A and B are shown apart, each in its own frame.
Chain A
Amino acid sequence: MNAAPVPREVHAELKGVTRIYPAVPGAGAKLPVHALGPIDLDLVRGEFFAVVGPSGCGKSTFLEVLAGLQKPTAGSVSFEGKPVGGHVPEGIGVVFQEDASFPWLTVWHNVAFGLRRNGVAAAEVRRRVEDAIAFMGLKDFAGAYPSQLSGGMRQRVCIARTLVLQPRLILLDEPFGALDAQTRLLMGDEVLRLWRRTGATVLLITHALDEAAMLADRIGAMSARPGRFIEIIATGWPRDRDSTIVGEAAFGEITGRLWERLRSESLKALGHSGVSAMAAE
C-alpha cells in the first residue's frame, strides 16, 4: 500500500535541548524548574509528528522552544539548516491551545492578518484568503466575528490564519484541547487534509493518546517533568488516511502501547509517590 520510500530529509533538528526556568524569589518560584530535556530529535520533512505526555510534562515548552518563542537553556535548535533562537523564523506557523482569534476582526480579516502586513498584492491576498477560508469550511462565515462562532470554528479561523502564510513547518499546541470528543475527531480529519495538501511538516502536541495514534506518522511519548522522549513509535499509517482508522486493530495496539509507556508517567504527574506499588496492584 505504501508508496516508494521518499528520501529522508531533516527539516528541523533539536540537539540536547534543555529548558530550565530560573528561580524567581518573591514571585512564588523559589527553586529553578527543570521543565524539559535533554531532547534530541530530527523532524523529517513532510512527516506528521505527534507529542503525547502527561499534563505539565513540558510539551508546550518543547513547542515554544522549537518555534523560537523561547530560547533553550542548553542545546540547539535548527530549522532548514539555520539556527533558531529567540525569534520565530519565516516558514514556521503556530496554532495555540488558547483561542487566539482576534475578536475585533471578521473571519476574513483574521485570516488576512499576516498577509496584509507582508506587502502581498491585494489580489493575491484575496485569492489566498478565500482559498484558506474555503479549505477550512468557513466560506459562509467570512463576514462573521469570532464571537458568533463556536469554539471549533474559532480554532479553524486560527488554523486558516496560519495556513495562508504557507508555512513549511506547522506547530499545533493542543489546538483541540477545549473541544468535545466528536468535534475533535472531525478536526483531526481537517488537519490530515491540510497536511496532505500543503506537504508541510506538522508537529502536534496533544494529551489525547487516540488523537496522536490516529493522526501521526511518528509519536513521541514524553515523560513527566522534566520532559524527555521515553519512546518514539512509528504508526505505519498510509498517507491517505482519515478518522475511520480508529476502528482498525492497529489503532488499538498503538494506543495500548502508548498507555503502557505513559501510565506511570501520568501517575507521577498526578503526584503519586508510590507509583510502583500502585502499578503492582
Chain B
Amino acid sequence: MAIMTRIGLIRLVVIAALIGALELACRTGLIDHRIIIAPSEMASALWTLLASGSLDADIARTLGLIGLVTALSIVLGFAAGIAIHALPRLREALDPFFATYYAVPVFIFYPVLIAIFGLSLMPIVLIGVATAIVAMIIATLNGLDRVPRVLDKVARVHRLGRIATALQLQLPAAAPYLFTGIKLAVSYGFIAVIAAEFILSPAGLGRDIADAYADFNNRRMYALILFLLIVATLINAVLHGLDMRFAARRSGGRA
C-alpha cells in the first residue's frame, strides 16, 4: 500500500512538472503563444467560456450524441452477440470480418454517409454506432464463450430452466467481458462522434474546435480541447473505477 501511494505521488509530481514546464515555456515566450497558450490561460479561458453559457447547446448536443451512440451500440451489440453466438455457422463466416474490422479505417465511410443522409445527425450516429458496435458484439461472444462448462452442469443439478440459466448463471459469468465491451463502446463512440464533428458537421464541440482553429482563436480552441480532454478523462476514470471494483472481488487468483 505504501509502495502504491509513493508511486502515485511520483506520478503526480511528474505530471505536475510537465504541466509546469509547459507553463514556464509559454510564459517566458520559449513557446510562441500563437502555437500553444499557457495551461493556466487554457483553464481560465475554459472557465470564462463555461460561465458565459454560450457552450451549453453544443455540450448538450455532443454529449447527447455520444450517449445515444454508446447506448445503441451496447444494446444492439449485445443482442447481436447473443444471436450470433446461437448460430455457430453464421459466426464462423463472420469471424474473418470481426478479425479485420478494427484494422480497416471504417471512419472513411463518414463522407459516404453524409452523401446519403445529408449533413444531419444521422451520419454521425451511424458512423458512431458502426465504430462502437462491433467491439460490443465481439465482447459478448467472448463472454459467452468463456462461461465455464461446469456451470451448465450446475444449472442442471439445480434444475434451472433455459431462461433462469441465462439470467442467473450465464449473464453474471459473462459480465466481466460484457463490461470490457461497454468500456470499448464508450471509448469508440466518443472518438467517432468528436472526429465526425471535427471533420464535417453543422454543430457540436468538435465543430467548435475546428472553427476556432480556422479563426486563429487559440484561447477558445484550447479551452474547448481542455474541456473535451477533461470529460474523456472523467469518463475513463469512472469506467476504470467500476472495473477495479468488479475485478477486486472477482478475478483475484482464479485460474
On whether A147 and B252 interact (CB within 8 A), knowing A69-B153, A100-B151, A104-B173, the answer reads yes
Identity of the chain A residue whose Cβ is nearest the Cβ of B175 in the assembled complex: A104
Interface majority SS on A: helix, strand, loop or mixed? loop
Kindly state whether residue B158 has any CB partner on chain A within 8 Å.
yes
Asked whether B159 lies within 8 Å of A88 as measured between CB atoms, the reply is: yes
* A13-21, A89-97, A263-271 - the one binding chain B: A89-97
Contact bitstring B168-179, A, C-beta under 8 A = 1, else 0: 110011010000
Asked whether A100 lies within 8 Å of B250 as measured between CB atoms, the reply is: no
Kindly state whether residue A253 has any CB partner on chain B within 8 Å.
no
Asked whether B156 lies within 8 Å of A87 as measured between CB atoms, the reply is: yes
Nearest CB of chain A from residue B166's CB, rounded to whole Å:
14
Asked whether B254 lies within 8 Å of A147 as measured between CB atoms, the reply is: yes
Asked whether A98 lies within 8 Å of B150 as measured between CB atoms, the reply is: yes
Nearest CB of chain B from residue A112's CB, rounded to whole Å:
12
Q: How many residues of A contact B (CB 8 A)?
A: 25
Distance between Cα atoms of A147 and B248 in the complex (Å): 8
What is the count of residue pairs linking A and B with beta-carbon distances less than 8 angstroms?
Answer: 60
Nearest CB of chain A from residue B72's CB, rounded to whole Å:
27
Nearest CB of chain A from residue B108's CB, rounded to whole Å:
39
B:207-238 near A, CB below 8 Å? none
Distance between Cα atoms of A99 and B154 in the complex (Å): 11
Distance between Cα atoms of A96 and B149 in the complex (Å): 11
Nearest CB of chain B from residue A61's CB, rounded to whole Å:
13
Contact bitstring A31-70, B, C-beta under 8 A = 1, else 0: 0000000000000000000000000000000001001110
Kindly state whether residue B160 has any CB partner on chain A within 8 Å.
yes
Asked whether B252 lies within 8 Å of A102 as measured between CB atoms, the reply is: no
B residues at A contact (CB < 8 Å): 148-151, 153-154, 156-160, 164, 168-169, 172-173, 175, 249-255
